[in-house]
Amino acid sequence: MTNDALKAKITELLPATGFEEGGQWLNINVEPADWRLLAEQLRLDASLQFDYLFCLTCIDWKTHLTMVYHLDSTKFRHNIVIKAKLDVAKPAIETVSDIWRTADFHEREVYEMFGVDFINHPDLRLLILPDGWEGKRPMLKNFEDPVNMIRL
Amino acid sequence: MLSFSDISKFIDSWLRDIFNPTWTMVIEMMIAGVCVIGLFAVLGLVLVLMERKVAAWIQIRLGPNRVGPKGMLQSLADTVKLLVKEGMTPDGADKFLFNFAPFIAMMVAMLLMAPIAFAKDFQLWDMNIGVLYFSAISSIMVISILMAGWASNNKYSLMGAMRSGAQIVSYELSAGLSILAIVVLSGSLNLNDIILSQADGWWIFKGHIPVIISFIIFIIAVTAETNRAPFDLAEAESELTAGFHTEYSGMKFALFFLAEYINVFIVCAIGATLFLGGWMPFHIGHWDAFNHVMDYIPSSVWFFGKTFFLIFLIMWFRWTFPRLRIDQLLNLEWRFLLPISMFNILLVTLMAILGWHF
Amino acid sequence: MVEEIGTTVEGDVLINVGPQHPATHGVLNLLLTINGETIKKVEPHLGFIHRSIEKMCESLTYRQFIYVTSRMDYLSAHINNHACALVVEKGLQVEIPSRAKVIRVLMDELTRIASHELWWGAMAMDLGAFTPFFHAFRERESINDIMEETCGARLTMNYIVPGGVMYDLHPDFQKRVKDFITLYKLKIHEYDEMVTGNIIFQNRMKGVGYLSAEDAISYGCTGPTARGSGVSCDIRKLYPYEVYDQLDFDEILETGCDSFARYMVRIREMNQSIRIIEQLIDTIPEGDFQAKTKAVLKLPKGEFYQRVETARGEFGVYIVSEGGNTPYRIKFRSPGFSNLSALDQMARGSKLGDLVAMMGTLDLVIPDIDR
């Protein structure tokens, strides 16, 4: 599907979405509350079938966090990028680990690095960081570690 | 001609001249003990070096080549290293069993030396149940492995020991049945009688296809019994780190290591004795002239030649085959080897009764 | 009574595989729940070699950060560098000379073969056969020699810079590569004789580690892991970069979904890489090996993403730029991380020995997973 067709289709699914074009792929801004519903539809809709989540990450913009989901369809080979703004003080968004199971590990990584709380995630624990790093959020821009940090 | 039997007879008569019969026996036993321990050490060194050289040859590399000429002193240097290393005992281990297990492995290997005929009339103990003795003693080996695995208080060790237990107990059966084929044909449990029965040709040539099948099954079964690849599930280094001897270090590890190689030597010696005629030179039926020429090659050369050929075969397996999985291993035994060897023993019996062999 | 897999019952044993374990090829820790020999659950614990390369890159310039990425998937270091260079070039909108493009692709494919060779040897070793490891290294050494001659390093080449490659090819390059191809074609049959055709090996691999096509997509598996399940995911074909769209090569797909299928994909992929090299080696265009770029690179404000196909699967670089000379946020989508997440699904219910075989076919490189 072309970007315009995708846009039309997604507007149909979720009227209150903002689009950003000009980048490599079509960017879609969603509210965290709408994300779960949209994700299910993106995965299951017969003309979209975004079955492959190839990148899931988070960006710290100091004022807010942005969750970024890169989606691909192995059937139609169209890509979109979903972005959701999260509150920096208490970031939370619904999990999509049951829709795309790769999100399980990626969400755990984002959880420990950025402190994003994935609601209904089955196993939200530290994956990479050692014990004792709960809630330290080392990938945030304001993170300071007097011991391990080396300024370049 | 100087042979082992002449030397032993000379020593025997010399001792009998000096001492009374009781003391003669005591001294002879001591000499035998020293000889066995010496043979142990030499065999260990030689086999380890041979394994490394064979491995290197198969793996297109050189192998040990720095210590001594062509690396010949490498295993000696390794032994010295192992001797001076600390033999640690883990805190949670059952100290007595943990330290005792390597010695059982060693004792079993030593006991198995007794019935082997190294050359003509050169045998520690010519007992009338040699084959039975071998089968019985070699199964004690599993106890040392189970003991080591259990006493280590390590899950890997325990799993290795359990695997080994299942494996050795199963493969004992087909090893026993394939040995039985020769016992049936030669009509004796005495290893010396078995060798003498091959004076007109080795059993592997005389016994037609059933004996060849027994031989193949015997080689597979003893490879499994000695825990060598492709049946090294007890160690399985990529799965269980080092299996039952994960926690062992220093000389205690070396004893297990040594016992493994001695066991390989012993099973190959038994295989050579049963199927390839032991020290019996290569004879063909009544070709007396040919047989006579063959007799000029010393019997000990024949024995060691055959044994080392079988050892090479087992080493070849180790360096070329991937490891089996535990269920495949047991399937192989219970589904294939055991039924085949049971059927085979019937064939051999039929052959022996009807006199169909040469 | 059918007990649910995954619940803890009496007789279950927790066992740590790694971080120091011969089968993990690095510092990976798997917490296994086993009952006897049967695996009930696999729980990976990562981070033993986590260096937070993403955070590190936020303070490195666009010329510097490429060298750090060699240390992620060190077996396809060159392809990692390639992805980073491509994303920077995408941001700068630099067109690189065609000679540089061909050199990059040649090096990519040599790296892929070298990586698969190592995998082949290491996987055979996981299954208890030691000899293939040395045979694989015989061929791999000659690739490393080629790399050493042209790039100056054998493992982490750092040969690619934004705008092209760092130096021109060594004069002997073409001859050495042709020698390698001759050697490879002479020796490849040994691989089949020694491992592929071995009955024990086939029994160990076939029907083991089942990963359906749906699961492979859902778990984000890529590379040979997914292609063994019949999922078409070769970035070189789907989203071609450099000169891959002008080349004639096949995407290898196997439909066995088991360890053996994944094994065969890699073996056949090596032949395809040889095919690509043969097409390019005689027609390396003349000209510059580097485009003119400024000394200090500054990417415009925006987001850039580049997907490439490494030896292990899809590698993605996501750069968020604020217009400065360092990335604001950088994310590396590593293939191993997603491939590893499918291990639990694959391993449940199989034997402990099979887990080692499965990990072998996933071709895990731990620094790539931890980053």
pLDDT digits (tens, 9 = 90+) for B65-107: 888 888 888 888 888 888 888 878 888 888 888 888 888 888 8
Q: Would you call the peptide bond into A138 cis, given omega within 30 degrees of 0 as the criterion?
A: no
Q: Please give the pLDDT value at position B118.
A: 79
Q: Across the interface, do A102 and C341 touch by the CB < 8 Å criterion?
A: yes
B58 contacts in C (CB within 8 Å)?
131
Q: What percent of chain C has pLDDT over 90?
A: 0
pLDDT in tens, C269-294: 888 889 889 888 888 888 888 888 88
pLDDT digits (tens, 9 = 90+) for A101-151: 888 888 888 888 888 888 888 888 888 888 888 778 888 888 877 777 666
Its sign, for the CA torsion C224, C225, C231, C237, is: negative
- Chain B partners within 8 Å of C15 (Cβ): 155-156
Query: Rounded CA gap, C295 and B132, in Å?
Result: 84
Q: Is A111 left (phi over 0), alpha (psi -120 to 50) or beta?
A: alpha
Q: Quote the minimal CA–CA distance from C329 to chain A in Å.
A: 7
For C360, which residue in chain B has the nearest alpha carbon? B238
Phi, psi at residue B193, to the nearest 5°?
-65, -40
C122/B contact by beta carbon, under 8 A: no
pLDDT tens across the length of chain B (358 residues): 567 777 778 888 888 888 888 888 888 888 888 888 888 888 888 888 888 888 898 888 888 888 888 888 888 888 888 888 887 888 888 888 888 888 888 888 888 888 888 777 777 777 888 888 888 888 888 888 888 888 888 888 888 888 888 888 888 888 888 888 888 888 888 888 888 888 777 877 777 788 888 889 999 988 888 888 788 887 777 778 777 888 888 888 888 888 888 888 988 988 888 888 878 788 777 777 877 777 788 878 888 888 999 999 888 888 888 888 888 888 888 888 899 998 988 888 888 888 776 6
Whether the CB of C42 is below 8 Å from some CB of chain B: the reply is no
**Are C341 and A52 an interchain contact pair (Cβ–Cβ within 8 Å)?**
no
Q: Which residues contact C119 (CB under 8 A, 6 or more apart)?
A: C75, C266, C311, C360, C363
Does the distance separating the beta carbons of B320 and C128 come in below 8 Å? no
Q: Do C352 and B239 touch (CB under 8 A)?
A: yes
Distance from CA of A7 to the nearest CA of C (A): 20
Do the beta carbons of residue C163 and residue C94 sit within 8 Å? yes
Tell me what pLDDT residue C8 has.
Answer: 59
Nearest beta carbon to residue A54 from set C46, C220, C231: C220
Q: What is each CA distance from C267 to C111, C256, C272, C311, C361, in whole angstroms?
A: 14, 15, 9, 12, 11
Question: Tens digits of per-residue pLDDT, C76-122?
Answer: 888 889 898 888 888 888 888 888 888 888 888 999 999 998 998 88
Q: Which of B325, B328, B330, B332 to probe the C interface (max C CBs under 10 A)?
A: B325
Q: Is C213 on the interface with B (CB under 8 A)?
A: no
Whether C and B touch (3+ CB pairs < 8 Å), yes or no:
yes
Chosen for mutation from C21, C135, C193, C200 (greatest number of chain B CBs closer than 10 Å) is C200
Partners of C126 on chain B (C-beta within 8 Å) are 238
- Chain A residues lying within 8 Å of C219, measured CB to CB: 101-102
> Does B328 reach chain C within 8 Å, measured CB to CB?
yes
The pLDDT value given to residue C356: 85
Token pair for C227: 């292609």
B59 and chain C: CB distance < 8 Å anywhere? yes
Contact B147, B100 (CB under 8 A): yes
Could you give the ipTM of this predicted complex? 0.86
What is the predicted pLDDT for the residue at B132? 87
- pLDDT tens column, C244-270: 888 888 888 888 888 889 898 988 888
The token pair at B28 is 């002879």
Nearest CA in chain B to C135: B59
Q: Provide, as residue numbers in chain C, all residues whose Cβ is less than 8 Å from the Cβ of B319.
A: 129-131
Bridging pattern class, strands C314-321 and C329-333: antiparallel
Chain A and chain C share a number of CB contacts under 8 A equal to 83
Q: What is the pLDDT of residue B358?
A: 64
Backbone angles phi, psi at C250, to 5 degrees: -105, 145
In this predicted structure, the answer to whether residue C1 has a pLDDT above a threshold of 70 is: no
Query: Cα torsion for B145, B147, B149, B150, to the nearest 10°?
Result: 160
Main-chain dihedrals φ then ψ at residue C231, nearest 5 degrees: -90, 125
Domain covering A3-88 assigned CATH 3.30.460.80 in the classification: yes
Nearest chain C residue to B56 by CA: give it.
C131
Q: How many CB atoms lie within 10 A of CB C91?
A: 22
Exposed / middle / buried, residue B165 (Cβ in 10 Å: 0-12, 13-18, 19+): middle
Cβ–Cβ gap B325/C21 under 8 Å: no
CB-based contact C218 A102, cutoff 8 Å: yes
A106 touches chain C (CB under 8 A): yes
Q: Is the dihedral of CA C241, C242, C248, C254 positive or negative?
A: negative
Question: What single-letter amino acid sits at C312?
Answer: R
Q: How many residues does chain C have?
A: 371
C261 touches chain B (CB under 8 A): no
Residue in C13, C134, C356 nearest the CB of B238: C356
Contact (CB, 8 A) for B214 and B344: yes
Interface contact C354, partner B, CB < 8 A: yes
Measured between beta carbons, the chain C residues lying within 8 angstroms of A57 are 318, 329, 331
- What the block records as the tokens of B207 is 């016994």
Is the Cβ pair C127, B238 closer than 8 Å? yes
Instruction: Tell me the CA distances in angstroms from A2 to A7, A111, B98, B230, C21, one per residue in order.
Output: 9, 33, 71, 56, 49
| Rounded CA separation A64/A141 (Å) | 11
> What are the structure tokens assigned to B8, written together?
């032993």
Domain boundaries, given as residue ranges, for chain A: 3-88
C132 to chain B, minimum CA–CA distance in Å? 8
CA distances from B293 to B6, B200, B282, C221 (A): 21, 14, 10, 69
Chain B nearest CA to C191, separation (Å): 12
The residue type found at C107 is M
The answer to whether the CB atoms of C316 and A102 lie below 8 A apart is no
* Better-predicted residue by pLDDT, A131 or C2: A131
Looking at the complex, does the CB of residue A44 fall below 8 Å from at least one CB of chain C?
no
At the fourth CATH level, the homologous superfamily of domain C49-370 is: Cytochrome-c3 Hydrogenase, chain B (1.10.645.10)
Give the Cα separation of A13 and B82 in Å (integer): 72
- How far apart, in whole angstroms, are the C-alpha atoms of residue B148 and residue C316? 49
Residue A80: enclosing H or E segment and its boundaries?
strand A79-87
So what's the pLDDT on residue C171? 86
CB proximity C13 to B under 8 Å: yes
Residue pLDDT, tens place only, A36-77: 888 888 888 888 888 888 888 888 888 888 888 888 888 888
CA angle A31, A35, A36 (to 5 degrees): 150
Is pLDDT of C5 > 50?
no
**Is C4 a residue whose pLDDT tops 50?**
no
Give C-chain residues touching A20 at CB under 8 angstroms.
none
* Confidence (pLDDT) at B37: 85
Residue C134 at interface with chain B, using a CB cutoff of 8 Å = yes
User: Rounded CA gap, B74 and B87, in Å?
Assistant: 21
Contacts of C355 in chain B (CB under 8 A): 239
CA distance C15 to chain B (A): 7
In angstroms, rounded to a whole number, what is the distance separating the alpha carbons of residues C32 and C40? 7
Which pairs with CB-CB distance under 8 Å and at least 24 residues apart come from C31-37?
C32/C352, C32/C355, C33/C6, C33/C8, C34/C352, C35/C9, C35/C11, C36/C11, C37/B159, C37/B163, C37/B326, C37/B327, C37/C351, C37/C352, C37/C353
- Interface touch B239/C13, C-beta < 8 Å: no
Tokens of C195: 């491992």
Residues of B in contact with C13 (CB under 8 A): 155
Nearest-Cα distance to chain C for B237, in Å, is 7
Q: What is the pLDDT of residue C3?
A: 43
Q: Which of A101, A106, A152 sits opposite C60 (nearest CB)?
A: A152
Give me chain C's average pLDDT, please. Answer: 86
Sheet holding A79-87, edge to edge: A18-20, A26-30, A79-87, A64-72, A52-60
Neighbours of chain C (3+ CB pairs under 8 A): A, B
Q: Which residues of C touch A127 (CB under 8 A)?
A: 44-47
C260 touches chain B (CB under 8 A): no
